[in-house]
Every structure is written in C-alpha cells, then in structure tokens.
Structure 1
Amino acid sequence: MAPEREPARERAATGATAAPRPRTRLDQPQRPRRRLLPEYDPEAFGRLSERIARFLGTGRFIVGMTVVVVLWVVWNVSAPRYLRFDTYPFIFLTLMLSLQASYAAPLILLAQNRQDDRDRVNLEQDRKQNERSIADTEYLTREIAALRVGLGEVATRDWIRSELEDLVRELEDGRTDGRGDARVVFPAERPRGRDVDDR
C-alpha cells in the first residue's frame, strides 16, 4: 500500500493531475488583454466631435456645401451623357447628403452632451463658490457686530478727553470749598508701615 501512495503524492507535487494556477504578482502590472474591438481614447474622440460640430456650424461649411451641391447638379445636367455619374433625380447626391446628415447629427449631440457636462461642473463650482462667499460674508458680519459691541465698552479718545476736561474743571472750580481750604480730590497716600487693616 505504501508504494501506491508515493506515486500519487509525486504526481500531485509535479502537477500531473491538475494544472497549477499561475501566481499573480502584485508588484508587476498585468499583461494587457487582447480585445476584439480596437481601443480608442473617448476624450480624443469627444474633442474631435466638438471640432467637427463647431465646423458644421460655421458659414464656411454652408458655403462649401452649397458650392459642392451646385457644382454636382451643374456637372450632372450639362456634362456629356457618358461623363455624368448622377443623372436627373440625383439619387447619389441625396444619398451623400443623407449620409452627411446621419453623421453630423450624432456628432453635434455628442458635442452638446460634453458641453452640458462642462456646464454642470461649472455650475456646481459656482454654487460651491457662492456658498463659501455667503459663509464668509456671514462670518465677517458676525465679527463686525462683535467688534461694535466690544467698541461700545471700550473707552474712546473722545470719552477720555471729556472725562479729563470735567475733572480739570472740577479741580479749577473746587480748589477752595468756600472756607479757604483746598479741596481734596485725590486722598493722600497712607504712610508706609503696618496698618490696622493689614492685621
């Protein structure tokens, strides 16, 4: 029995019974997967569609398309019969104009969607900026109100000047109290030493 178990262990160790899973290394980038469809950059395609949509909305495009249609019609009406490539009902011209319109409409819609996304982001940024401005304005309003309240309790220069003028007037008017004695405005300092109140 023992000899049969050893070959099974050897087979399991070598991977003969099951294919080992490859270990993925986290320190290395994965290999790119093969895709059926070609890859493209959506941002570059969006920029190209915006350029085309901008060109389709210019007068240059309208004039150019008008010139092409007029030349097409004139050539297919006045050229010799064997050189005409689109006879009177101008079916090929209608097909080309339809093809151009079928490509132009989605490109214009894509450009409008991208512009809407940009406008939405700009509006969101403006809204946040307005909220910050309102918050800053409210904060400054509260600070100014607090300063006004604080200034009401602070002695201003005019108030100190009026108090000093009143005190000087009192001193000048009350140097004598009618008996010829000088009026004491400020009491004299007590003599230094132990006082009864200190005990």
Structure 2
Amino acid sequence: MNGPSHLKDLARHYLHKDTHALGEEELNVLESIDAHTPIARDATDIDDDQASFGDRMSDRVAAVGGSWGFIIMFTVVLIGWMLLNTDVLVHWGLEFDPYPYVFLNLMLSTLAAIQAPIIMMSQNRQAAKDRLAASHDYEVNLRAELEIMRLHDKLDALRAENSLLTRMVLERERP
C-alpha cells in the first residue's frame, strides 16, 4: 500500500479531482487499486447478509403471494367456499356464510390489508438491492476504466523508453 499521498495522486491524475471531492464509490475504487485488492462483490450476498428476519419474511410472502400457484390455489379455495355455502351445506341448513358471503369478504379484505404492505416492503427491499447492485457495478466499471488508463500510461512509458533506446542504439551504430 502506498498511502494517502498515492491516493491523492491517483485521484488527481485519473479522476481530475481532489480526494475530498470524491464520492464513496470512487474512494473505494482508489483504495482497492492502492491496496491491489479486487473490488467485485455479489450485491445479493451482501444484501442477504444484512437482511433482518422481517425482510426475509416479506420476501417470502411476496414470492408466494405474487405467484401463479397462489392465484390458482386461492381461486380454488374461493370457488370451494362459495360452493360449500350455497349448494352443499344448505341442504342440511349448516351454511355458515350464506350469499352474499359477508365473512368471506371480511377475510379477503383482511388478507389484502396485510398482504399489500408486506409486498410493498419486499419491493422497497428489492429497490434497495438494485441500488446496491448499481453502486457495485459502478465501482467495478470505474475500476476497470482506471486500470485500463493505468495500462495505457505504462504502455506509453514503455514506448517512450523503447524509442529512446532505439535512438541511442542507432546513434552508436553510425560511423
């Protein structure tokens, strides 16, 4: 590691900024260049490590509630409920929620009232995960761009040195 003065030089030379004007991602990239460490990380793994129990639960509820399996199963349950309370149990006078299915409407409203905010929590988590992934993508892209610029600088220096050596050899060979 070359230290803070090397970071200043890298920032000025490649980003044309002072270190105090750098964003968090840019500073992370320069520090990883200085330390010769990789910067790429899996944003999903980072997010999963930081997720609370409630976060994981909202993701599971959203995954189930937003699936075709849930829609089909729920449709079967609704049709079964209606058939049970209109055709089957009515013969014995045991229907517990006759038409217009007030109890069923209450259950559906309760389910919707609970499920909607949970799905919104999951969507907010997904948006935060997407922002984290975009930030990491920016860091990786910036690192690659800076490394390419550094390679160009090294190649230019080698060309200049090679040109100087070639001139010196040619001057020695002249009579």
Distance in 2 (CA, whole Å) between partners of 1:51 and 1:133 is: 36
Is 1:67 matched with 2:76?
yes
Counterpart of 2:28? none
Matches within 5 A, 1:77-92: 77-78=86-87, 79=89, 80=91, 82-92=93-103
What count of residue pairs does the alignment treat as equivalent?
A: 120
TM-score by length of 1: 0.56
1:136-194 deviations in Å (ceiling 9; x for gaps): 111111111111111111139xx77xx5xx87xxxxxxxxxxxxxxxxxxxxxxxxxxx
Is there any run of 5+ residues in structure 1 with no aligned partner, and where? Answer: 1-41, 168-199
Bigger radius of gyration: 1
TM-score by length of 2: 0.63
Matches within 5 A, 1:49-198: 49-78=58-87, 79=89, 80=91, 82-155=93-166, 163=173
Distance in 2 (CA, whole Å) between partners of 1:136 and 1:65 is: 54
Distance in 2 (CA, whole Å) between partners of 1:135 and 1:97 is: 56
Counterpart of 1:187? none
Distance in 1 (CA, whole Å) between partners of 2:68 and 2:140 is: 38
- Superposed displacement of residue 109, structure 1: 0.4
Give the CA RMSD over aligned residues. 2.0
More helix by share: 2
Distance in 2 (CA, whole Å) between partners of 1:119 and 1:49 is: 17
Distance in 2 (CA, whole Å) between partners of 1:101 and 1:46 is: 19
1:104-129 deviations in Å (ceiling 9; x for gaps): 11010000111111111111111112
Distance in 1 (CA, whole Å) between partners of 2:81 and 2:120 is: 29
Counting aligned pairs with the same residue, the percent is 34
- Superposed displacement of residue 81, structure 1: 5.5
Distance in 2 (CA, whole Å) between partners of 1:126 and 1:52 is: 29
Distance in 2 (CA, whole Å) between partners of 1:95 and 1:74 is: 18
Matched position secondary structure for 2:118: helix
Distance in 2 (CA, whole Å) between partners of 1:87 and 1:93 is: 10
Amino acid at match of 1:83: L
Question: Which of structures 1 and 2 has the larger relative contact order (alpha carbons within 8 angstroms, sep 6+)?
Answer: 2
Distance in 2 (CA, whole Å) between partners of 1:155 and 1:127 is: 41
